[in-house]
Structure 1
Amino acid sequence: MPLSLYLLAMAVFAMGTSEFMLAGLLPDLAADLDVAVGTAGTLTSAFAVGMVVGAPLVAALARNWPRRSSLAGFILAFAAAHGVGAVTSSFPVLFATRVVAALAYAGFLAVALTAAATLVPASRKGRALAVLLSGTTVATIAGVPGGSALGAVLGWRAAFWAVAALCLPAALCVVKAVPAGRAMEEAPGGPGLRAELAQLARRPLLLVMLLGALVNAATFGSFTFLAPVVTDTAGLGELWISVALVLFGAGSLVGITVAGRLSDRRPGLIVAVGGPLLLIGWPALAVLVHEPVILFALVFMQGALSFALGSTLITRVLYEAAEAPTMAGAYATAALNVGAAVGPLIAATALSTPAGNLGPLWASGLMVAIALLIVLPFRAVVTAGRSAEALR
């Protein structure tokens, strides 16, 4: 894998830390801004909505922009939004900064995903995506628990300042290492924007986007409200939140690494094995939450399975969108973040059910079940080399 791919992953680490860190900051943030925890959880959805909208919009605009300067610009805009968020005392203003930050991250990720696919042979898109998204998994291991611990000691605002500071060296690395060309220059004679957008009418592409969104919704739904499960339901101390987040992140790194080696050649195997295990894991976590050892073991397992299955489905989006060379990354980003937007909203609603803090875990299980029911009649769509023809 080329060095520039790993440096892009470093930038994803800096920005991904912010995307996930609210899971450990929600109780403190909600109390400081005088809102309910469920209301504070909508900040995750605001971020995801901004990414869903921003990914295709910014990718379309950036087709003719210099890749290196646009990536660096997105990172700096992301940092500025966090600076504003760190000083505000208004929840609506904080909400708005999350949307702005999401637009910047969406632009970055859409361009970076497309760039990653061009930096490697066509048959290794899954490996390239795994390297790029490993920045997110490292964020869940180090950045997110670090942000949670920093928030517990110095308050949630310190975590926002830390993210802004992390973005600065990431921007410098991108400037130093990423080629300066434009996306359209790498696909001379390729399809126009209208033709690339027309790919969204293809059923195979829509199906893998839907499946990826459902799995990611399950992941974000439970991850966003993991903190109250650890403290209020399991009865553990606040610092155990960081332990849970580290274990989830470690699992996600294992899952995405394994998937990166299999998703190009054996995606069906990951779905067939990982899907049912993921389905069992969420309700098992809800039932066994009062057993700390089992709780943390399941958190690790769910992190691994969620990212293995999710990254495999997103890799299929890149394959199915091969005829949209400058927009494929935007479609993958949108699929990821439709789930990230919907999942916490469904989970927040589940908090008001008799299940209480365990409601998001049951809701995640239901979303995975729906994904598996959808994929059953269309198994060929996740089989490498056959999906494009299976549903035409």
Structure 2
Amino acid sequence: MKKNSILFYLDNVFFVILIMMLSWTAFNEWLPKRAILLIVYIYFIIKIALYIFLKKSDMVVSITSLIIVILCFISFFWSELPNMTLTSSLYLLVESLIMMYMANEYKLKHILKLFFTAGYLIAIFSFAAAILAPSLGIDNLKHIGAWEGIFTHKNNLAGVMVFYILIGSFLISIVQKSKWKMFIIFISLFQVILIVLSQSTTSFLLLILTYLLLLVILIFKLIKNYYLKMALSVYLALFVLSSAMASLYYLPILFGYFGKDTSFTGRDLIWEAGLSLIDQRWLTGYGYMGTLGDSSFRSKLLSYINFEVGTLHSGYLESLAYIGYLGCFLIVIGLIVFIIRSIRQLNSNKIITFLPITFLLYSFVINTQESAFIGSEFGLIWGFYVLLHTILILKKTNEV
């Protein structure tokens, strides 16, 4: 698409709006998100239809991602909330198609710029919300003084900021002008400050852990000697094993240092109850988004734990509850294909080629305590996964 054309600008504006709306609970208490998303969806449905019918070449899609979306649709037949399942599946399909369209139409560098733009706008709006409307932007109930910004929970603000910091880290490796590099660094530091103000130690540790894992991958990629790689692998495995064993003994002390307890702030009880309910319908699950609202799943969960909770606080358990072991088996197949393609396209001379595998590491970690994978209307993680998977299929990680 030609730059400076009206359609080019419309694509950019609507895509940035979409990213902001998909950033978990961003703007939930501030804007009519569903109405805004509907407008964005209609625009992109028209654009995708025109792209398919007017372009000579077909639009490349991620088949493994579409299979999962189709299963979400099919789960309508056994969901206790069929209307919610059908509506949410439709949203998930449109979000996935939009990401595939953007991957086909634009280069990775340009798409990352749009994600970065959405990230710094969210950071600015969150800062403004906390300063100008502290009753909404700062938690005054459970986590007193913790910044929430335009989100409904401090962990949402912090987790999303970590994601956008990662985007900025890779974008800085491909922009040419020094002034843009400095701007990205400034915004990233600003986002780190928001993480600190959110008082979310989980997200802060997530940021550190993700960068450490990226560093290990970079070191292994740079080493050419096979025997040296093997030796480092053994030492690394021994270090991880000894650290894990030591952490079991010192876990209460470590958690206390970070203001946590070994129950993961009550999450262990939620996970226990969730697993018990998942075992009752282990093959197909309760239907996509069929565990919310007035479902029997939610009623049984709340009666078991005796306190209010919105999610299972685990992307893995959430996926099992939605589409069962059958759906998660398909997800694993998609992830294996994603990893293989990511490794094949790694290039030690181009940091940007490490983005897919780094994002996957981030996703693996954050989903241990947050429901952040198959999201509909808040599908930032899923959307970026589909986008990167399509880019890997197109082999565009080197095209910046």
TM-score with structure 2 setting the length: 0.31
Considering fraction of residues, name the structure with more helix.
Answer: 1
